Amino acid sequence: MSSQFIPPPSTSTRAMSFDRRNTGKIVGHLYIAANTLLKGRLITMEEMRHEVRNIMSNGNKETQSNGLADTHSDATSVAAWNQMVAQMILEMRKIPNASTSLPDRFKKELAVSITNGMKLCLGGGSASQQARLQLKQATQLYLKLSGVSWL
């Protein structure tokens, strides 16, 4: 894999609290893992940025929920899990940058998403292995969040 230039974090990113910044990273790893399983290959950073910006500007048209836990906690297919993660991107925008701790409901949904993802990538293919690596990174970041852990 070729090395990619990663620009320095923006001023707004540097102003985020530890938990809020890590939450963005966790959701990013979940998004990469979900799309890797869905597409059968690891997506590039450019693809991810484009898709996340599209979700943030247009919303997730495939998901018509008012809340995470009500609709997606039992995401047992790759498509449903992918929708769950896309909905989390939208929900994450509601968490203030200066927030020192995450809402319990959101933190619990992160744990459910990580657990569902682990179940979905039990296969032996290369896409499953790539997704597991992303989920491992998401799990490590999750365990660094303040407060109760549901993993």
The dihedral over CA atoms of 62, 121, 138, 3, expressed in degrees to the nearest 10, equals -90
CA dist 130 and 136 (Å) reads 10
What is the predicted pLDDT for the residue at 98? Answer: 81
Phi first, then psi: what are they for 85, rounded to 5°? -65, -40
Residue 81 resides in a domain:
yes
Q: Tell me the mean pLDDT in the region 28-49.
A: 92
CA dist 9 and 143 (Å) reads 23
pTM of the predicted model as reported, rounded to 2 decimal places = 0.81
Q: Contact at 8 Å (CB) between 121 and 37?
A: yes
User: Residue 146: which residues within 8 A CB-CB, separation 6 or more?
Assistant: 18, 19, 100, 101
Residue 22 resides in a domain:
yes
Burial pattern 125-137, b for ≥16 Cβ within 10 A else e, equals eebbebbbbbbeb
More confident residue, 105 or 3: 105
Average pLDDT, the chain: 84
Residue 134 resides in a domain:
yes
Q: How many domains does the chain have?
A: 1
Domain that holds residue 51: 16-142
Question: Cα 144 to chain center, whole Å?
Answer: 15
CA dist 81 and 72 (Å) reads 7
Residue 45 resides in a domain:
yes
